């Protein structure tokens, strides 16, 4: 997901960074010759697909006139979307498909909250009859997680799809295709960027390589900037078209069924218009390119340091690094944002302005990515960081007061418009109703404040808006009115359950230190890769900018560790409603009241509505306890489940006639067992000149699943007896150790 609202801020501030992606329609048969020059005027060498941004919309049926009912329908929709994206970009050297594998513990905490909230919402809407459930094999999107049968089958069918395209499509003939499936640890976008970093750091890399990434996560923008590759574009949905469709959905003149409005509320990227538009328009959602080289030009102008320190030579690449680092304070998938900062309120503009203002007195840059290997976080200048963030914190009172005034005006406007639409002239009727409700508190319409309520109550409020307004104000407690007298003490009491001054100070030191650790951890992920699979920020909320002092960089030291196994991740993030997706041997751990870890799977939990989005206050799991219980049941796993629980490497597909294919045509893969482990022999170094710029090591792969009859795997999928494809395994990704339980 990345930084909320950051994409909108960026394209509004720098509109020329985006350009429309033109699609060629083809002849009467609809076939497009992708060997011809790209109609967009740019020839790309490498094209990278963040596959989960394709899998989820296809699973929901966003490209089809009706939701899919079988896995085969989902798979065929995925194939069609990949074909369409390939026709737009037309890579000449490489196509890289990255599926989310096992994530870090830091990301799993976010995934867990999201999946539990989705499961609870689905349960409530079904119970109230708003969205009747139609049982089918693709009714639960939680199966789009490493280790499930669905993801295992998806990997198999993608291998067949790649082989078919390489054999039969002229546009694919001369390219290399890499598949990093769900058994390769890491999130899709981070696997893509790790591949790019590793390639550009090896001999023989062509600095003029043109890259294009397809994905919907806004953190791709920062990851792309972090590569320092100039020739880089991001392909995504046309933002203006998406906004226009959303406006169509929400227009009061539009009469649409509830599931369409539900699609908006779920913050889906693709607006579900299947009831109001035909299938042809659904399949033609426009795309646009976001060009990183144009963004770099904007930033070079906008981040100009007017008065640098004496005899200081400005390095723009380091300014870019600091810009990326500043974005971490807006929140992401790993650490929450500072309470002060809201992207829609111009938070990034504030950070940039203060950075330029303080640069001279700070004496230079905040970070030095050349020192990422140094211990004790020496890659961050903590004195400069403290000076900068405290300078940002000096705006807290002013911003919080303004935010409170805006919220009050907004609430009053919405309330009065709603009452007027209901025929109510004032608040008297609402207040009178509340007097007759037993156990109801006095109603005070004094603006929106943060409050806590159960997840069940929160989603019930959304059914009837006026009831939500009443009950919201009746049930809110422990208000946090940021900017009012004592707002900081209120915040720590509400969010961290501490009241006494010494307790608040101790908690402040704890969360600031942990937050700084998080900044260092995210910095590593963006610029070098995962530095610790087990680290996580164990709080739901971040500190204030004005509290950003007294942290100690010498206490920061990460241990790489290892990722969890896929089945352990399933147990860590799925709700009991999705127990069908885990092995049968593990299900009682999630559903049986006698389970030693049943407390990990609550049926209800709190939601905090402070800020831009509601936040599930779900208890974090104890990973050690989880692994201990799983280990007891590992011997009950079926052979197929054991296979799905392993770690894999990327697979490379090329035509046998390709220069790279010829390199490995005589390669034999021999393994010997030593001390219980397989040792790979005859590992071959890739000749970068013959491979078209690809670097690293490889071994021949004779995996039987790659040769399966595609017609038996996916109903309706084309099939060809021709097979001139060589398949082998890439050995270059080395930042992962074999996980243990």
Are 389 and 408 part of one and the same domain? Answer: no
Are 350 and 370 part of one and the same domain? Answer: yes
Q: Which of 486, 519, 551 is the last residue of a domain?
A: 551
Cα 535 from Cα 521, distance rounded (Å): 8
Are 409 and 459 part of one and the same domain? Answer: yes
- Residue 462 maps to a domain: yes
Positions in the chain whose pLDDT score sits under 50: 1, 245-283, 425-451, 458-463, 473-478, 668-675, 680-681, 704-705, 733-741
- Residue 452 maps to a domain: yes
Q: What is the pLDDT of residue 404?
A: 78
Q: What is the pLDDT of residue 683?
A: 67
- Residue 184 maps to a domain: no
- pTM of the entire predicted model: 0.85
Give the start-end residues of each E strand in 518-648.
606-608, 615-617
Q: Which residues neighbour 728 within 8 Å (Cβ) at sequence distance 6 or greater? A: 651, 652, 664, 667, 698, 699, 700, 701
Are 336 and 466 part of one and the same domain? Answer: no
Are 365 and 424 part of one and the same domain? Answer: no
Q: In this structure, what token pair is assigned to residue 152?
A: 């295992």
- Residue 261 maps to a domain: yes
- Residue 491 maps to a domain: no
Task: For 143-182, write each residue's pLDDT tens digit.
Answer: 999 999 999 999 999 999 999 999 999 999 999 999 999 9
Q: Which of 490, 525, 551 is the last residue of a domain?
A: 551
- Residue 206 maps to a domain: no
Are 530 and 411 part of one and the same domain? Answer: no
DSSP 274: T
Are 323 and 260 part of one and the same domain? Answer: no
> Can you tell me whether residue 51 is helix, strand or coil?
coil
Buried b (16+ CB within 10 A) or exposed e, 541-556: bbbbbbbbeebebeeb
Query: Residue 277: which domain range?
Result: 239-285
Query: Total structural domains in the chain?
Result: 3
Q: What is the pLDDT of residue 720?
A: 62
Among the listed residues 207, 215, 249, the one whose alpha carbon sits nearest the alpha carbon of residue 233: 215
Q: What is the pLDDT of residue 474?
A: 45
Are 279 and 309 part of one and the same domain? Answer: no
Beta carbons of 412 and 469 less than 8 angstroms apart? no
Q: What is the 3-state secondary structure (H, E, C) of 176-196?
A: EEEEECCCCCCCHHHHHHHHH
Q: What is the pLDDT of residue 270?
A: 32
Are 412 and 263 part of one and the same domain? Answer: no
Q: What is the pLDDT of residue 737?
A: 40
- Residue 428 maps to a domain: yes
Task: For 238-265, write each residue's pLDDT tens digit.
Answer: 866 655 544 443 343 333 333 333 333 3
Rounded to the nearest 10 degrees, the angle between the axes of helix 219-227 and helix 292-302 is 80
Are 408 and 386 part of one and the same domain? Answer: no
Are 387 and 512 part of one and the same domain? Answer: yes
Are 389 and 403 part of one and the same domain? Answer: no
- Residue 53 maps to a domain: no
Cα 362 from Cα 356, distance rounded (Å): 10
């Amino acid at each position: 997901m990345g930084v909320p609202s950051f994409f909108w801020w960026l394209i509004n501030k720098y509109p020329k960074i985006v350009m429309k992606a033109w699609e060629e329609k083809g002849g009467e048969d609809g076939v497009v010759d992708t060997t011809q020059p790209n109609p967009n005027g740019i020839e790309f060498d490498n094209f990278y697909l963040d596959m989960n941004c394709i899998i989820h919309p296809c699973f929901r049926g966003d490209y089809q006139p009706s939701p899919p009912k079988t896995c085969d329908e989902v798979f065929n929709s995925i194939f069609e979307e990949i074909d369409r994206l390939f026709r737009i970009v037309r890579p000449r050297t490489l196509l890289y498909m990255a599926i989310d594998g096992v994530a870090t513990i830091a990301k799993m905490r976010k995934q867990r909250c999201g999946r539990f909230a989705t499961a609870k919402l689905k349960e409530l809407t079904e119970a109230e009859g708003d969205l009747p459930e139609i049982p089918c094999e693709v009714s639960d999107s939680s199966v789009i997680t490493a280790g499930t049968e669905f993801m295992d089958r998806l990997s198999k069918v993608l291998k067949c799809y790649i082989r078919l395209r390489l054999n039969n499509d002229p546009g694919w003939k001369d390219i290399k295709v890499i598949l990093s499936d769900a058994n390769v640890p890491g999130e899709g976008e981070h696997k893509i960027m790790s591949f790019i970093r590793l390639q550009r750091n090896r001999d023989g890399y062509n600095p003029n390589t043109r890259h294009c990434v397809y994905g919907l996560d806004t953190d791709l923008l920062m990851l792309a900037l972090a590569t320092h590759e100039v020739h880089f574009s991001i392909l995504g949905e046309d933002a203006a078209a998406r906004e226009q469709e959303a406006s169509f959905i929400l227009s009061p003149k539009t009469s649409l069924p509830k599931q369409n409005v539900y699609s908006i509320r779920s913050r889906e990227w693709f607006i579900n218009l299947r009831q109001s538009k035909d299938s042809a328009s659904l399949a033609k959602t426009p795309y646009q390119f976001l060009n990183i080289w144009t963004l770099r030009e904007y930033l070079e102008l906008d981040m100009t340091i007017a008065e640098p320190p004496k005899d200081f030579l400005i390095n723009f690449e380091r300014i870019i690094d600091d810009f990326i680092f500043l974005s971490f304070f807006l929140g992401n998938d790993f650490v929450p944002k500072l309470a002060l900062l809201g992207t829609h309120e111009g938070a990034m503009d504030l950070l940039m302005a203060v950075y330029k203002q303080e640069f001279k007195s700070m004496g230079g840059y905040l970070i030095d990515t050349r020192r990422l290997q140094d211990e004790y976080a020496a890659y961050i200048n903590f004195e400069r960081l403290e000076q900068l963030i405290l300078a940002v914190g000096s705006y807290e009172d002013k911003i919080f007061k303004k935010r409170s005034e805006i919220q009050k005006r907004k609430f009053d406007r919405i309330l009065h418009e709603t009452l007027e639409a209901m025929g109510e002239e004032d608040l008297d009727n609402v207040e009178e109703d509340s007097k007759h409700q037993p156990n109801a508190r006095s109603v005070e319409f004094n603006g929106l404040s943060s409050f806590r309520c159960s997840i069940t109550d929160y989603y019930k409020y959304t059914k009837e808006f006026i009831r939500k307004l009443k009950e919201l104000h009746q049930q809110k407690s422990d208000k946090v009115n940021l900017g009012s007298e004592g707002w900081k003490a209120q915040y720590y009491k509400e969010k961290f359950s501490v009241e006494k001054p010494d307790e608040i100070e101790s908690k402040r030191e704890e969360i600031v230190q942990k937050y700084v650790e998080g900044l260092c951890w995210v910095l590593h992920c963006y610029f070098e890769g995962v530095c610790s699979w087990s680290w996580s920020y164990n709080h739901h909320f971040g500190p204030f900018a004005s509290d950003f002092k007294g942290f100690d960089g010498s206490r920061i030291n990460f241990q790489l560790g290892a990722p969890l196994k896929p089945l352990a991740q399933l147990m860590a993030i799925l709700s009991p409603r999705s127990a069908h997706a885990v092995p049968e041997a593990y299900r009682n751990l999630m559903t049986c009241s006698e389970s030693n870890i049943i407390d990990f799977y609550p049926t209800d939990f709190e939601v905090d509505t402070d800020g831009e989005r509601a936040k599930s206050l779900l208890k974090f799991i104890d990973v050690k306890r989880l692994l201990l219980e799983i280990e007891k049941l590992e011997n009950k796993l079926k052979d197929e489940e054991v296979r799905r629980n392993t770690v894999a490497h990327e697979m490379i597909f090329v035509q046998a006639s390709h220069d790279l294919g010829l390199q490995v045509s005589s390669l034999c893969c021999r393994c010997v067992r030593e001390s219980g482990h397989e040792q790979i022999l005859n590992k071959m170094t890739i000749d970068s000149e013959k491979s078209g710029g690809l670097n690293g090591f490889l071994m021949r792969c004779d995996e039987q699943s790659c040769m399966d009859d595609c017609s038996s795997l996916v109903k309706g999928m084309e099939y060809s007896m021709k097979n001139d494809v060589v398949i082998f395994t890439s050995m270059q990704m080395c930042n992962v150790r074999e996980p243990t339980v």
